[in-house]
Amino acid sequence: MSDSSLLKGLIDALRVLPGVGARTAQRMAFHLLEHDRAGGLYLARTMAHALEHIHHCRWCRTLTENELCKICSDSGRNGKLLCVVEHPSDVIALEQATDYQGYYFVLGGRLSPLDGISPEDIGLDQLEKRLSEGLVSEIILATNPTVEGEMTAYYINDLAKKYHITTSRIAHGVPVGSELEYVDSSTLSHAFAGRRKY
């Protein structure tokens, strides 16, 4: 590889992206420099602008360029329903895949005492403040089915009980189109335990 410090800097910068290792970053850098400089400049400008102007929604903590995101600004949504998710990308996934019409609360992670992540670190103090206002009647727990995700859901369920708010948990189970013999035992166990009437 060339000993250009700018080239090395570009490759190192591209490696901050998830899943991009040294070889992939090198291929990206050479592609931009040799075949698509205009695209590279557009990417750089767009990234700089986004990083400067996108922040967390004051109400739900998802990503937005406004004080309130588009969902929180929509007065036509059901204010009694609050879906709690781990990341802003989960909001997008649910909006694209469901007809859910309530609001969201984005934790920005999940409880993990071993990693030093406490309730305050994921905004559970803000969530409790929102619950104490008495507008929410049901929380839908949509944290990931990991040990930490389940612990976080359990904690939020206890918080909701304190304010007499109903909680429900999204179902975890067998993916559509899969065969039972190939599904891992943990997923199969969750699916069987969460069965519903047909």
Reported as half-sphere exposure (CB side, CA atoms, 13 A), residue 144 has a value of 13
- Under 8 Å between Cβ of 143 and 107: yes
pLDDT reported for residue 188 = 78
Residue type, 184: D
Pairing of strands 102-106, 78-85: parallel
Which domains, and CATH codes, for the chain?
Answer: 5-53 (1.10.8.420), 63-169 (3.40.1360.10)
Using pLDDT thresholds of 50, 70 and 90, give the confidence band for residue 3.
low
For residue range 20-78, what is the model confidence (pLDDT) as tens digits? Answer: 999 999 999 999 999 999 999 999 999 999 999 999 999 999 999 999 999 999 999 99
- The pLDDT value recorded for residue 177 is 82
Q: Is the pLDDT of residue 90 over 60?
A: yes
pLDDT at site 148: 94
Q: How confident is the model at residue 194 (pLDDT cuts 50, 70, 90)?
A: confident
Q: How far apart are the first and last CA of the chain?
A: 62
Query: How many Å apart are CA 146 and CA 102, to the nearest integer?
Result: 25
What pLDDT was estimated at residue 55?
98
pLDDT tens-digit readout, 139-184: 999 999 889 999 999 999 999 999 999 999 988 887 878 777 787 8
- What are the φ/ψ torsions at residue 89 (nearest 5 degrees)? -65, -25
pLDDT given for residue 182 in this prediction: 80
Residue 157 is predicted with a pLDDT of: 97
Contact 61, 106 (CB under 8 A): yes
Comparing C-alpha atoms, which of 20, 10, 24, 88 is closest to residue 50? 88
Q: Tens digits of per-residue pLDDT, 96-138?
A: 999 999 999 999 999 999 999 999 999 999 999 999 999 999 9
Model confidence band, residue 189 (pLDDT cutoffs 50, 70, 90)? confident
**Beta bridge pairs of residue 105:** 84
pTM summary value: 0.87
User: What is d(CA 173, CA 194) in angstroms, rounded to the nearest whole number?
Assistant: 8
CA angle 172, 150, 130 (to 5 degrees): 105
Of 190 and 95, which is predicted with more confidence?
95
